[in-house]
Amino acid sequence: MSLEHILLGMLHDPSSGYDIKTAFSEGARHFWSAELSQIYPTLKKLEKRGWLKSRTEPSSKGPPRRVYRRNAAGRRELLHWIGAGPQMGTERFAYVAQLCFMHELDNLEATTEFMLELRGKLSDFLTMLLGVESELTGRGQAAIDSLSAEDFHVHLALRMGIHSMRAKVRWCDEALTRIKQRQQPRAVRPRGPDKNPKEVRHG
Amino acid sequence: MSLEHILLGMLHDPSSGYDIKTAFSEGARHFWSAELSQIYPTLKKLEKRGWLKSRTEPSSKGPPRRVYRRNAAGRRELLHWIGAGPQMGTERFAYVAQLCFMHELDNLEATTEFMLELRGKLSDFLTMLLGVESELTGRGQAAIDSLSAEDFHVHLALRMGIHSMRAKVRWCDEALTRIKQRQQPRAVRPRGPDKNPKEVRHG
DNA sequence: ATGACCATGTAATCCGTTACATGATTCG
DNA sequence: CGAATCATGTAACGGATTACATGGTCAT
């Protein structure tokens, strides 16, 4: 809901808009993202409000960089936001809606294909997150114990993405199983004699 | 990210804007939501585009209702959207960002409190979803097998919310454990004497 | 009569995406 | 010489929230 506070938080170290965009494309993209065209004006707004200071620095490659630094007022605002308790916004999952409405097709094979494709995407995302985690904590439990306070919190946050993606992949598997069951109900419902000729046993 | 297609899907049976808002406040709120002030103009737009037809109906309580009905063109558009494969938008989780930035407080007790509060909210949400599920499938596996095609798909969708919320609650528990471990590292790290309990790092 | 619920809408504002516009450096 | 990367921005549009405005019915 508010990019402003996200930017304040990401400006722990002085950075340019471009730097922040890069961070969104990498580790931070499991919980937030924004385009440069939104980042630049927002940084300006924060500076006008007195929470940031900027200065231009020459760059070795390309044009000069405008580097923003958070000041005491900006830090106060950030802490205030964090202190207000966990902010849960509305989650919107278009693909869940699509699944809901797929009964209109009345074709369980289409639903299967949909779930398979979704599973692929979710599991790619999970793989990416696991990669980020192993960069952070590579050498097992010992390395986790010796993380800096910052990396410790970043790791906790990353774990949310991992738990959540794993759960969604498992949800896809469960759904695929349920669909199969519904397609061949005889094979799994052992209640009463079933005289149907398509019997699977002793085959 | 389009409410338009969500509305087309929800108009399986003719409904008023008010009805749709009610649905968002109940079962559908784990995957989408919208305000009346957004629903009403969007329904009008869809009618102008030829995907819906409306007529007013007297209401027993309150003013007359404008009831929308999806036509063949609307149905075609819906199927087209569903057929385009699973749409994964950007997910934004403010509370994960807050957690990331909490290292600035440098106070693990604050982090603990944050995670406890978050756990409470997530687990309330899970409870609500389980309630919706038991309304849908109350009498166990037999009832699941005999769901209509519509309810079968709605149930699959609902399972996503349940899997995902359960995973997030477990993530909170894991995080709380990790925080405790970090606060009392002697209890879990059996490597050499540690004579300075309150100091986790030394420079 | 007061408040909850039914029922519709508009206007202002804010948040976010896509498209447009510019230009330097570096590597192949 | 062309493509990728570095680096900054504006403009137009679309999607979503908050605030405003109206008025009827029903139960306490």
Which residue of A10, A38, A98, A147 to mutate against B (max B Cβ within 10 Å)? A98
Tokens at residue A43, please?
A: 């940084």
Chain D nucleotides reached by a protein CB under 7 Å: 5-12, 15-20, 23-26
DSSP reduced 3-state for B67: strand
Residue nearest to nucleotide D19 (CA to C1'): B37
Under DSSP, the state recorded for A64 is P
Question: What φ, ψ does residue A55 adopt, rounded to 5°?
Answer: -145, 155
> For residue A22, what are the CA distances in angstroms to A15, A19, A52, A184, A190?
11, 5, 20, 49, 56
Confidence of residue B188 (pLDDT cuts 50, 70, 90): low
Residue B39: what pLDDT?
A: 98
* Contact across the interface for B114 and A178, Cβ inside 8 Å: no
The residue in chain B having the minimum alpha-carbon distance to the alpha carbon of residue A186 is: B145
C-alpha closest to that of B28 among B3, B54, B60: B3
pLDDT at B46: 98
What is the arithmetic mean of pLDDT over A149-175? 98
Mean pLDDT of B178-202: 65
Question: Do B86 and A156 count as a contact with CB atoms less than 8 A apart?
Answer: no
pLDDT tens column, A109-156 = 999 999 999 999 999 999 999 999 999 998 788 888 999 999 999 999
Q: Taking Cα atoms as reference points, which of A161, A178, A157, A62 lies closest to residue A115?
A: A178
For residue B20, pLDDT over 70 is answered with yes
- The yes-or-no verdict on residue B60 having pLDDT over 60 is yes
Residue B143 binned pLDDT confidence (cut-offs 50, 70, 90): confident
Q: Give the mean model confidence (pLDDT) for residues B84-94.
A: 95
Q: What is the mean pLDDT of residues B105-111?
A: 97
Residue B166, both tokens: 């359960």
**Closest-CA residue in chain B for A1?**
B94
Give this prediction's pTM: 0.90
pLDDT at B112 over 80: yes
Query: Which residue from A minimizes the CA distance to B118?
Result: A86
Look at residue A73 and tell me whether its pLDDT is greater than 90.
yes
Considering chain B, what is the average pLDDT of its residues?
91
Q: Is the pLDDT reported for residue A191 higher than 90?
A: no
pLDDT of residue B202: 46
Pick out residues whose CB falls under 7 Å from strand C: A 1-4, 33-35, 37-38, 60-63; B 16-19, 22, 36-37, 40-41, 43-44, 59-67, 90, 92
Burial class from Cβ neighbours inside 10 Å (0-12, 13-18, 19+) for residue A23 reads middle
Mean of pLDDT values over A39-54: 97
- Evaluated on CA atoms A71, A21, A118, B46, the torsion sign reads positive
Q: Which of residues 35-74 of A touch B (CB under 8 A)?
A: none
B contacts of A98 (beta carbons < 8 Å): 9, 81-82, 86-87
Is residue A95 scored above 80 in pLDDT? yes
Contact between the CB of B89 and strand D at under 7 Å = no
The CA-to-CA distance between both ends of chain B, in Å, stands at: 47
- The full length of chain A comes to 203
Residues contacting residue B172 through CB under 8 Å, at least 6 positions apart: B115, B116, B118, B119, B122
What separation in angstroms does the CA of B124 have from each of A52, A198, B143, B165, B195? 38, 46, 25, 10, 42
Residue B200's pLDDT is what?
45
Distance CA A191, CA B105 (A): 60
Question: Per-residue confidence at B142, pLDDT binned at 50, 70, 90?
Answer: confident
pLDDT beyond 80 at B93:
yes
Q: What is the pLDDT of residues B151-172, one digit of tens each?
A: 999 999 999 999 999 999 999 9
Nearest CA in chain A to B3: A94
List CB contacts (< 8 A) between A144 and chain B.
178
- Say yes or no to pLDDT of B77 above 70: yes
Which residue bears the tokens 């590292």? B185
- Say how far apart CA A93 and CA A34 lie, in whole Å: 18
pLDDT band for position A1 (cuts 50, 70, 90): low
* Token pair of B90 as six digits: 């950007």
Distance from A195 to chain B by nearest Cα, in Å? 19
A114 CB contacts (<8 Å, ≥6 apart)? A98, A99, A102, B85, B86
